[in-house]
């Protein structure tokens, strides 16, 4: 098994140009020798490059898995902006060609199964390198490292860690939401149980929205609810064994009034089967389209409070609060710029082969946060 990643060839294959593709693609064009944008057709890829001001800086291509596979060479980098279920076939093509892989999604079982083969092939498998997951991990690792320096790993302590992220309309609407990804995906996430820690106990809620509660950020009230399974991140974040979690939740943030505005949606989620919910997703897409004049807002707030038995304590909070512009949505900026940073580190050979998450270590998190800040990403840290 190799211990070093295959040297990058300088060629990047960016797959897909949907809602999350933004200035990150331009950032990749700045550092890569060659960039190919693969889309459903060559014409659509060319139009996307034109819209992004990148005509002539990347090569438009029609995406099919066989066409991509034929084009791959050892050391190439494949960036998947496709839905998560399509990552595994792309990764398989990368492993077969000795190419690297990057995406912003959580690690699926289908991807995880291929990690040993990817490691043996010298391929980097970079995941969770977007906004959420991605920047949220960077914030959490940074806060935990700061608290560990203050409290110590061996000192008994209790802590509360919350991480809430949401894409919301910059100008509140009656629906209290703006779709930044496909409605089917939003509804699917709401149908998935959430597991988290509350009052020191592991808690599971079958319908995440039923655990919605107010959350005040700098005087502004939002609504938040748990999302997915938070518990595995206790280990991923490397929290000291001597510390006891009182609260540990990673969740979703919405505008105040969202729960009430979505009453009819929740009623259908409770009663509907897959076919009815598929129809609901199509209805929501038609009833609440995103227009060129809409502006989105991304709010990510990660907080950590630690209290030691001897009276020592530490608290910290990262806040990212960005609005989209006419040129780029806030969501696209956060996802694509973070992913582009990860690609840059694949190209410079600083990531090891095998599975890498954006925030694998506290030092890497601090480095990447510094680099994102230098790239113009605005966020703030408050400690006390």
Question: CA-to-CA distance for 354 and 125, rounded, in angstroms?
Answer: 5
Active site residue 174: no
- Check whether residue 114 and residue 171 sit in a common domain: no
- Check whether residue 58 and residue 117 sit in a common domain: yes
pLDDT at 3: 67
- Check whether residue 316 and residue 191 sit in a common domain: yes
- Check whether residue 204 and residue 302 sit in a common domain: yes
Structural domain contains residue 37: yes
pLDDT at 312: 81
- Check whether residue 113 and residue 220 sit in a common domain: no
Structural domain contains residue 48: yes
Single out the residue in 92, 126, 160 at which a domain terminates. Answer: 126
CATH at residue 37:
3.40.50.720
Structural domain contains residue 74: yes
> 274-287 vs 183-190: helix axis angle to the nearest 10?
130
Range of the domain at 31: 11-126
- Check whether residue 122 and residue 142 sit in a common domain: no
- Check whether residue 204 and residue 309 sit in a common domain: yes
Single out the residue in 107, 126, 145 at which a domain terminates. Answer: 126
Q: Is the dihedral of CA 52, 54, 58, 62 positive or negative?
A: positive
Structural domain contains residue 265: yes
- Under 8 Å CB-to-CB from 162, ≥6 apart: which residues? 215, 224, 247, 248, 249, 250, 251, 301, 302, 303
> For the chain, how many structural domains are there in total?
2
- Check whether residue 161 and residue 296 sit in a common domain: yes
321: buried, middle or exposed (CB in 10 Å: 19+, 13-18, 0-12)?
Answer: middle
- Check whether residue 222 and residue 96 sit in a common domain: no
Structural domain contains residue 337: no
Enter the tokens of residue 106: 């959580």
- Check whether residue 50 and residue 95 sit in a common domain: yes
Single out the residue in 94, 126, 158 at which a domain terminates. Answer: 126
Cα 192 → chain centroid: 18
Which residue out of 59, 109, 132, 348 is catalytically annotated? 132
Structural domain contains residue 346: no
> What is the pLDDT of the chain when averaged over all its residues?
94
pLDDT at 1: 42
Residue entry with tokens 């259908």: 268
CATH at residue 285:
3.30.360.10
Q: Is the dihedral of CA 15, 21, 26, 27 positive or negative?
A: negative
What is the pTM (predicted TM-score) of this model? 0.94
Structural domain contains residue 355: no
Structural domain contains residue 22: yes
Comparing C-alpha atoms, which of 113, 100, 48, 142 is closest to residue 339?
100
- Check whether residue 376 and residue 241 sit in a common domain: yes
CB atoms within 10 A of CB 318: 23
The CB-side HSE value for 224 (13 A sphere, CA atoms) comes to 22
313: buried, middle or exposed (CB in 10 Å: 19+, 13-18, 0-12)?
Answer: middle
- Check whether residue 275 and residue 302 sit in a common domain: yes
- Under 8 Å CB-to-CB from 76, ≥6 apart: which residues? 8, 9, 11, 12, 13, 94, 97, 99, 100
Low-confidence ranges of the chain (pLDDT < 70): 1-3
């Amino acid at each position: 098994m190799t211990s070093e990643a295959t040297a990058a060839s300088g060629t990047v294959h960016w797959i897909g140009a949907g809602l999350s593709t933004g200035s990150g693609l331009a950032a990749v064009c700045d550092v890569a020798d060659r960039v190919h944008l693969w889309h459903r057709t060559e014409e659509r890829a060319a139009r996307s490059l034109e819209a992004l001001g990148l005509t002539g800086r990347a090569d438009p291509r029609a995406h099919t898995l066989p066409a991509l596979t034929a084009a791959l060479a050892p050391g190439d980098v494949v960036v998947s902006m496709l839905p998560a279920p399509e990552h595994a076939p792309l990764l398989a093509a990368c492993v077969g060609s000795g190419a690297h892989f990057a995406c912003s999604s959580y690690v699926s079982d289908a991807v995880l199964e291929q990690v040993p083969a990817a490691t043996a092939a010298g391929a980097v498998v970079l995941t969770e390198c977007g906004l959420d997951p991605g920047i949220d991990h960077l914030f959490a690792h940074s806060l935990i490292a700061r608290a560990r320096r203050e409290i110590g790993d061996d000192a008994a302590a209790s802590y509360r860690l919350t991480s809430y992220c949401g894409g919301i309309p910059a100008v509140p609407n009656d629906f209290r939401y703006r779709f930044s990804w496909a409605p089917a995906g939003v509804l699917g996430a709401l149908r998935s149980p959430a597991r988290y820690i509350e009052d020191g106990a592991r808690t599971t809620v079958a319908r995440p929205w039923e655990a919605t509660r107010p959350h005040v950020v700098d005087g502004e009230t939002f609504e938040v609810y748990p999302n997915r399974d938070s518990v595995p991140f206790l280990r991923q974040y490397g929290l000291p064994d001597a510390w006891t979690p009182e609260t540990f939740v990673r969740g979703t943030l919405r505008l105040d009034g969202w729960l009430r505005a979505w009453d009819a949606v929740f009623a259908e989620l409770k009663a509907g089967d897959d076919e009815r919910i598929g129809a609901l997703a199509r209805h929501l897409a038609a009833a609440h389209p995103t227009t060129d004049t809409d502006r989105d807002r991304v709010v990510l707030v990660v907080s950590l409070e630690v209290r030691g038995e001897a009276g020592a304590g530490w608290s910290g909070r990262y806040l990212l609060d960005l609005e989209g512009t006419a040129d780029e949505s806030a969501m696209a900026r956060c996802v694509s710029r973070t992913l582009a940073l990860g690609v840059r580190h694949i190209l410079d050979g600083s990531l090891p082969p095998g599975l890498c998450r954006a925030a694998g270590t506290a030092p890497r998190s601090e480095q990447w946060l510094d680099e994102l800040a230098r790239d113009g990403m605005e966020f703030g840290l408050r400690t006390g």
